[in-house]
C-alpha cells in the first residue's frame, strides 16, 4: 500500500467520526517533498476528551495497511502522538491536536483530507517558522561548551569508548547549528539532511572525525569540533541578539588548559 492509498483508506474510515474533526497529510507528503523512503505523517484535529476513541479508530483505520508490529502512544492533555510500523515496514505517524491548537498554524506543508468543522479556514498563509527560539539556542551553545568541558574526564579515565558518545553529541549540535544557519523550511525527520544544508556545510561535516580510539585522537577530535562550531555559533548569537555565554566559555577554556594543557581554538571578536 502506498501513501496515496493509505490516505484514501483512513479518510474513508474516519470521516464523520466525532473523535476526529479534520485530517491532513503533513511531513514530507504534506509538503510534496516525499521520496521512496519517506514515512507517512498525518495531523488530526482530535477533541481532548475523545483521545481514547481516536486511538481505537486510528488503529482500525490502519488495518488495511498490514499487521502493525510497532505501536507507540504519547498522550498529553491536548495532544497525542502515535507511531506505527507495519510488518512491511511502512512507517505511519499521526499527531493529534485539540482543534483550537491547530488554528493559526501555517497551511504550507499540509494537504487536507477532510475537514468537518472548517478548521482549514483557520490556517494562515506562509510557511511555519523554522527558527529555533533564543532560549533553545542559548541552551545549545551552553551544552556544546559543557560537553567540551567533560573532555578531561574522558581522557583522565581513559574512557575513549565513551568519548565517542560525547563526540556524537557535539556533532549533533553542530548539525543543528548548520541547519539553523540555512533556515531551511520543511526540515522533515531526523534522516533528512542533504537538502537542508549547503555544499560548504556538507564539506565541513565530511572533514570532521566521527570516531576516536586513544588520547591523541580524542583530544584532536574535540578540538576540531570546537573549531568548527564556536565561530559559527558566536556569529549566529550576534545575528539573533543572543548574549553569548562568555563567562562559561572562558571558564571552559581555562579548565581545558589547566587539566590537559590544551588551547581551545579562538572564536573571534
How many domains would you assign to the chain?
2
**Domain limit, last residue, from 98, 122, 146:** 122
Residues 95 and 201 in one domain: no
Residues 110 and 139 in one domain: no
How many CB atoms within 10 Å of residue 262? 16
- What residue numbers bound the domain in which 243 lies? 134-260
pLDDT by residue (tens digit) across 48-91? 999 999 999 999 999 999 999 999 999 888 899 999 999 999 99
- Whether 183 has a pLDDT exceeding 90, the answer reads no
How much is the pLDDT for 252? 96
Are the beta carbons of 22 and 4 closer than 8 angstroms?
no
- Domain presence at residue 32: yes
Residues 55 and 101 in one domain: yes
- Whether 248 has a pLDDT exceeding 80, the answer reads yes
**Domain limit, last residue, from 122, 145, 160:** 122
Q: What does the mean pLDDT of the chain come to?
A: 89
pLDDT by residue (tens digit) across 134-145? 999 999 999 999
**Which of 118-127, 142-151, 241-250 shows the lowest mean pLDDT across its residues?**
118-127
- Domain presence at residue 129: no
**Sequential DSSP letters for 89-100:** --EEEEEEE-HH
Residues 97 and 138 in one domain: no
The DSSP bridge pattern shows strands 22-26 and 40-45 to be antiparallel
Distance CA 150, CA 134 (A): 25
Residue 62 sits in a domain whose CATH number is 3.30.460.10
Amino acid at each position: 500500500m502506498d501513501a496515496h492509498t493509505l490516505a484514501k483508506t483512513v479518510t474513508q474510515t474516519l470521516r464523520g467520526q466525532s473523535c476526529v474533526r479534520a485530517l491532513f497529510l503533513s511531513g514530507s507528503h504534506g509538503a510534496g517533498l516525499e521520496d521512496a523512503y519517506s514515512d507517512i505523517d498525518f495531523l488530526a484535529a482530535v477533541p481532548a476528551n475523545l483521545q481514547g476513541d481516536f486511538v481505537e479508530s486510528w488503529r482500525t483505520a490502519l488495518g488495511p495497511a498490514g499487521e502493525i508490529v510497532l505501536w507507540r502512544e504519547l498522550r498529553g492533555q491536548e495532544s497525542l502522538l502515535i507511531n506505527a510500523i507495519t510488518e512491511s515496514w511502512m512507517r505511519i505517524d499521526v499527531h493529534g491536536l485539540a482543534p483550537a491548537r491547530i488554528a493559526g498554524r501555517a497551511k504550507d506543508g499540509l494537504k487536507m483530507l477532510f475537514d468537518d468543522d472548517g478548521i482549514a479556514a483557520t490556517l494562515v498563509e506562509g510557511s511555519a517558522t523554522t527558527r529555533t527560539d533564543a532560549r533553545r539556542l542559548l541552551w545549545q551553545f551552553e551544552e556544546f561548551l559543557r560537553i567540551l568541558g567533560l573532555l578531561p574526564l574522558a581522557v583522565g579515565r581513559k574512557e575513549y569508548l565513551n568519548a565517542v558518545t560525547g563526540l556524537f553529541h557535539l556533532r549533533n549540535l553542530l548539525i543543528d547549528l548548520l541547519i539553523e544557519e540555512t533556515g531551511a523550511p520543511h526540515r522533515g525527520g531526523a534522516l533528512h539532511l542533504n537538502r537542508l544544508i549547503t555544499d560548504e556545510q556538507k564539506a565541513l561535516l565530511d572533514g570532521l572525525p566521527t570516531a576516536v580510539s586513544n588520547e591523541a585522537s580524542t583530544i584532536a577530535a574535540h578540538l576540531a569540533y570546537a573549531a568548527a562550531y564556536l565561530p559559527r555559533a558566536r556569529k549566529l548569537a550576534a545575528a539573533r541578539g543572543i548574549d553569548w555565554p562568555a563567562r562559561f566559555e572562558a571558564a571552559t577554556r581555562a579548565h581545558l588548559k589547566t587539566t590537559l594543557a590544551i588551547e581551545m581554538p579562538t572564536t573571534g571578536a
